[in-house]
Structure formats: C-alpha cells, structure tokens
Amino acid sequence: MGCSCQHEQTLLDDKKELLEDVISAYKGKAGSLVAVLQDVQGICGYLPQPVMRWLGKELGIKPAKIYGVATFYTQFRLTPVGKYLIMLCQGTACHVNGAERIETAVSRELKISSGETTDDGVFTLDTVACLGCCSLAPVMMINGRAYGPLTPDGAVKIVKDIYKKETQSGGEVQ
C-alpha cells in the first residue's frame, strides 16, 4: 500500500461540511473532545491525521493532545476500516468457551489477523475486550449485530455469507 496522505486530505475536503457541523455543535463546550472524536469517526470511519490536525486548529486544542486522547481509547482508529467490522469478543466467558479457535478460523478464512483489513476493503478484523453477550459465548459482532454461540465453522460461514451477498449485490466491492 502506498502513502495515504493524499487520500486522507481528500477525505477531509469531501467531508468538510459534515465535519464543520460537528465543530459548530461542540465549539465552546468544554470537555467535548471525546464526543467530537466519536462523531468525526462516525463520519470518516476512522481518524485521519489531516482531520485531527484540522480539528486542533478549529477547536484550539494542540494536535498532540488530540492524538493522546485518540490513542488512549480503544474505540478510536487511526487507520481506515473495511465495510464490515468484525469484532471478536475476548471476554472471559468467550475465552473459556474457545474464542481463540474462532479467531484462528476467521483469520485463516480472511487471510488477515486482528487489526487488519482485507485488500478489497470488505472486512476488518478486530478483537474487543467484552461485548457483554456472555451467555452467547463465544460471540462476534459484525457492524453492530451480535452472533453466537459460534463454532469455528459457523463463524466462517457467517463471514462467507456476507461476502457472497456483497459480491452478488455488485459494484460496491472494490
């Protein structure tokens, strides 16, 4: 993959209007940085560096502080996500019920490991501390929907089904 700054700069320009709405909603309200970053991530899918620098200027906050907050919380991402974000639960209940095997199976199927995105941009694989659906362990969440209890085969099938639907609906996959 080449340098992404150009793309990120374009992202900032494209979404400027939406981003300005966020700024005007929070400007002058002390202590809103976390909420601002949540909204910005909602718009851009992640927190691109040019956007963070721009935010700093607009809000009068040092970029270093924005970066500090963005890297402190696990919700914030500094790299783009795929169309489908797969979150594999690593909670205690999932762990004792074989979460590791689910991760191995999904990871093998998509040929990426946790934190990575597939080349076609369809899936991002991530692990999370606990989704709070412990009675369904082991669980994964894909774009907000929880699936469980999983078996390695079952998890792979869910991912394959989504991929099939994506490629059939056509056009959207790069």
Partner 1 sequence: MKLRIGFGSCGIAAGALDIKKSVEEEILRRGLDLDAEITGCVGMCHNEPLLDVLDDSGNVYTYGKVTTDAVKLIFDRQIEGNQPVEEYLVATAERPNDFLSGQVRLALRNCGVINPEKIDDYMDQGGYKALHQAVAEMSAQEIIAQIKESGLRGRGGAGFPTWFKWQAALQNRSDVKYVVCNADEGDPGAFMDRSLLEGDPHSVLEGMAIAGRAIGAAIGIIYVRAEYPLAIKRLEIAIEQARERKLLGKGILDSKFNFDILIKKGAGAFVCGEETALIASLEGERGMPRLKPPFPAQSGYWGRPTNINNVETYANVPWIISQGAGEFNSMGTDKSPGTKVFALAGKIKRGGLVEVPMGIPLRQVIFKLGDGIKNDRRFKAVQMGGPSGGCIPEQLLDTPVDYDSITRTGAIMGSGGMVVMDETTCMVDVARFFLDFTRKESCGKCVQCRIGTKRMLEILERICRGEGREGDIELLQSMAVKVKEGSLCGLGQSAPNPVLTTIRYFRDEYEAHIRDKKCPARQCKALISYHIDPELCRGCGRCARKCPVGCISGEKKKPHAIDPERCIKCGTCLEVCPPKYHAVFVE
CB nearer to partner 1: pick between 26 and 121:
26
What does the H/E/C string look like for 119-159? Answer: CCCCEEEEEECCCCCHHHCCCEEECCEEECCCCHHHHHHHH
Q: Is 164 exposed, middle or buried (0-12, 13-18, 19+ CB in 10 A)?
A: exposed
Among 5, 78, 96, 173, contact with partner 1 (rule: CB under 8 A): 96
Diameter of the chain measured on Cα atoms:
51
Among 9, 15, 23, 38, contact with partner 1 (rule: CB under 8 A): 38
Among 23, 85, 134, 162, contact with partner 1 (rule: CB under 8 A): 134
- Check: CB of residue 139 under 8 Å from CB of residue 148: yes
> In whole angstroms, how close is the CB of 163 to partner 1 at the nearest point?
18
Residue 146: phi, psi to the nearest 5? -90, 140
CB nearer to partner 1: pick between 22 and 105:
105
**And the tokens for 142?**
């894909």
Q: Does 55 bind partner 1 (CB under 8 A)?
A: no
Q: Does 73 bind partner 1 (CB under 8 A)?
A: yes
Among 108, 157, 160, 164, contact with partner 1 (rule: CB under 8 A): 108
**How many angstroms separate the CA atoms of 72 and 90, rounded?**
19
> In whole angstroms, how close is the CB of 6 to partner 1 at the nearest point?
28
Q: Residue 66: which H helix or E strand, with range?
A: helix 63-72
Q: Does 128 bind partner 1 (CB under 8 A)?
A: yes
Q: Does 142 bind partner 1 (CB under 8 A)?
A: no
Residues engaged in binding partner 1 (CB under 8 A): 30-35, 37-38, 68-69, 72-76, 90-93, 95-97, 101, 104-105, 108, 128-137, 139, 144-148, 152
